[in-house]
Amino acid sequence: MEKLAAQLYTVRDFTKTAKDFAKTCRKIRAMGYEGVQLSAVGPIPPREIQKILDGEGLACVATHVSLDRIEKETQAVIDEHLLWNCPHIAIGGFFPGEEEERKAKTWKDFTARFSKLGKSLSKAGLVLGYHNHFHEFIQTSDGLTGYEHLIRELDPATTWFEVDTYWVAAAGKSPAALLRRLAHRVPCLHLKDGKVSRRKEGFAPDFAITEVGDGNLDWPQILEAARFAGTQWYIVERDNGEMEPFRSLERSFRNLRFTMGL
């Protein structure tokens, strides 16, 4: 049975203190999740985080850390991830601005920077991942896209892709096709659903995000492609929405386990 984890960004208002973090982890484990992705967590000491996760029987499967912090506090970041037994570190995205993101040089410079950090982290047994939004699929000045530059220029031995299904679909692309192309490069996948419709450019960030299984993404194809790609952890995330965040995580879990058979 595939392993399901919860992206803590979904419940970010309930992870600001150690006490709240512990309550949140307890609720998430009770739903059936086996792991979490650490993101938007308050200033809780790393050892306290590990103690709480161990106590609730949750694995730290991945994290989101800013690129600046990875560069400036490399050893601290490494030590934290080794403590948490978490090899998958990722950044939440690269946002150079609307004008810059259309320049090929912007992405070439970024991939060089990213690759250097990936090689540095790999010496400690960590792999550096990239989490996408929709702007990476906009065409750049050389006719490619930012994401195409990432695929072509990042080393599979030291980097990975945290594909976000919702944002890929919002960009007018097929999450399933992308997963098949990135086989063995997506150890952790962001499962996110929404009511996505194609606009004339295809780049509209205001599509409604839903619980997984309640939107219109093609989940049978996505999950089949994820299995083909060798994905190890399926991480549920909802950025925002009408449903209370814990109820949202629980509904997504039940849809995935009992309706989709994941």
Predicted local distance difference test score (pLDDT) of residue 15: 98
- The helix (H) or strand (E) run that includes residue 224 is helix 219-229
Task: Give backbone dihedrals phi and psi of 17, rounded to 5 degrees, phi first.
Answer: -125, 165
Task: Give backbone dihedrals phi and psi of 261, rounded to 5 degrees, phi first.
Answer: 75, 25
Is residue 199's pLDDT more than 90?
A: no
Q: How many CB atoms lie within 10 A of CB 69?
A: 12
Residue 257, classed as helix, strand or coil, is helix
Percentage of the residues of the chain whose pLDDT score is greater than 90: 93
Cβ–Cβ under 8 Å, residues 179 and 148: no
Name residues whose C-beta falls within 8 Å of residue 109's C-beta, 6 or more positions apart in sequence.
none
Among 21-30, 80-89, 198-207, which is the least confidently predicted range? 198-207
Tell me: the pLDDT tens digits for 28-44?
999 999 999 999 999 99
Name residue, tokens 């965040």: 245
- The helix (H) or strand (E) run that includes residue 5 is strand 3-7
Tell me: the pLDDT tens digits for 119-154?
999 999 999 999 999 999 999 999 999 999 999 999
Work out the average pLDDT over 81-97: 97
Is residue 204's pLDDT more than 60?
A: no
Tell me the pLDDT band of 202, cut-offs 50, 70 and 90. Answer: very low
| Greatest extent of the chain over all pairs of C-alpha atoms, in Å | 51
DSSP state of 145: B
Token pair listed for 54: 């161990």
Task: Give backbone dihedrals phi and psi of 126, rounded to 5 degrees, phi first.
Answer: -105, 155
Instruction: Give the pTM.
Output: 0.96
Predicted local distance difference test score (pLDDT) of residue 91: 98
Work out the average pLDDT over 178-198: 94
**Length of the chain, please?**
262
Tell me: the pLDDT tens digits for 217-258?
999 999 999 999 999 999 999 999 999 999 999 999 999 999
